[in-house]
Amino acid sequence: MPVVAQNSRLGNILWPTLAWVVALIFFFPIFWMVFTSFKTDADAVKPEYLFVFKPTLENYINMTENYDYWRFAINSIITATFATTFALVVGVPAAYAMAFNPSRRTKDVLVWMLSTKMLPAAAVLYPMTYLTKNFLQIFDTHFLIILVLCLINLPIVIWMLFTYFKEIPKEIIEAGKMDGVSIWGEIKDILIPLAWGGIASTALLCFIFCWNEAYWTVRLTTTDAATLSKLIEGNRAPEGLFFGRLSAVSTAAVGPIVVLGWFCQKQLVRGLTFGAVK
């Protein structure tokens, strides 16, 4: 923990106070959304009820009726869960192979995988629509969204897992080999128990990214597989007449994820900088 720069009395009070003020300012929009979600639509736009009002749960109770919230929420849960699972099923063996049996090309393969993440999605918008609508006929299906979410997050998943697996001493895996354990046995009985924490945080982060994805989930769905991103985007409410109910549905859409996010802030650095910042 840094101890320098804390030598002045004034600084000891001033800087922490400033840190708190800035943190509260940054959190304010989220607070305001949650706060407004307890106002009625009519109260939400009246200046006299800006801070003092009669709280109501009406917006949450009517969420299903106003927005069909659960249909979208269930789609989000299904697609994010399955996409994360598949990404792990494909990613764990791949990362295992690259971490413990690297070849001369492993580094290039990893970097290439990341490069697929950097292709602008918009560049392949029409081909994706064309392929899935006219050719494969999987447009607006859960299968398609799961597949796409899995593929766009696979590079990050493999990359994160790779950095976690690299931390496991090679000797432990080698010892397993000596004892004649099969590869599946190695993964199942040695690797997964040892790297459990890393795998869990990779899964958590992947889930969050799937949940918040807002390009393909909007452009490749109409109704059946539409997720919460699509729901919110479809209710941008330009006239602003429904601040109360819009806040409630937004709170319900982001609340669980923000809370999950609090638990994986440390892993976020690893997942988003590809191990380049330590």
| Tokens coding 222 | 């109409």
CA dist 229 and 221 (Å) reads 11
24 scored as a contact of other proteins (CB under 8 A): yes
Residue with smaller CB distance to other proteins, 65 or 239? 239
CB of 220 to other proteins, least distance (A): 12
The window from 54-62, 77-85, 188-196, 245-253 that contacts other proteins (CB under 8 A) reads 245-253
| Cα-based distances in Å from 201 to 78, 84, 138, 195, 205 | 19, 11, 31, 10, 6
Residue with smaller CB distance to other proteins, 57 or 111? 111
CB of 137 to other proteins, least distance (A): 16
CA dist 5 and 7 (Å) reads 6
Helices (H) and strands (E) in the chain, counts: 16, 0
CB of 54 to other proteins, least distance (A): 19
Residue with smaller CB distance to other proteins, 194 or 257? 257
276 scored as a contact of other proteins (CB under 8 A): yes
- For the purposes of burial, counting CB atoms within 10 Å of the CB of 268, is it exposed (0-12), middle (13-18) or buried (19 or more)? middle
The window from 18-26, 51-59, 137-145, 189-197 that contacts other proteins (CB under 8 A) reads 18-26
Q: Which of 174, 179, 189, 233 binds other proteins (CB under 8 A)?
A: 233
Kindly write out the interface string for residues 128-157 of this chain, putting x where it contacts other proteins by CB under 8 A and - elsewhere.
xxxx-------------------x--xx--
Total residues in contact with other proteins, by rule CB under 8 A: 103
The window from 53-61, 66-74, 93-101, 191-199 that contacts other proteins (CB under 8 A) reads 93-101
Q: Return the HEC string of 75-114.
A: HHHHHHHHHHHHHHHHHHHHHHHHHHCCCCCHHHHHHHHH
Kindly write out the interface string for residues 46-85 of this chain, putting x where it contacts other proteins by CB under 8 A and - elsewhere.
-x--x-----------------------------------
| Residue that has been written with the tokens 């392929």 in this structure | 131
Q: Which of 77, 168, 194, 218 binds other proteins (CB under 8 A)?
A: 218
| Cα-based distances in Å from 182 to 79, 102, 166, 193 | 33, 18, 20, 16
Q: Which of 77, 90, 138, 181 binds other proteins (CB under 8 A)?
A: 90
Q: Which of 66, 78, 93, 140 binds other proteins (CB under 8 A)?
A: 93
| Residue that has been written with the tokens 């590869």 in this structure | 183
Q: Give, in degrees to the nearest 5, the angle at Cα 161 between 159 and 164.
A: 115
CB of 110 to other proteins, least distance (A): 7
Residue with smaller CB distance to other proteins, 36 or 202? 36
Q: Which DSSP state fits 215?
A: S
Cβ proximity of 44 and 248 under 8 Å: no
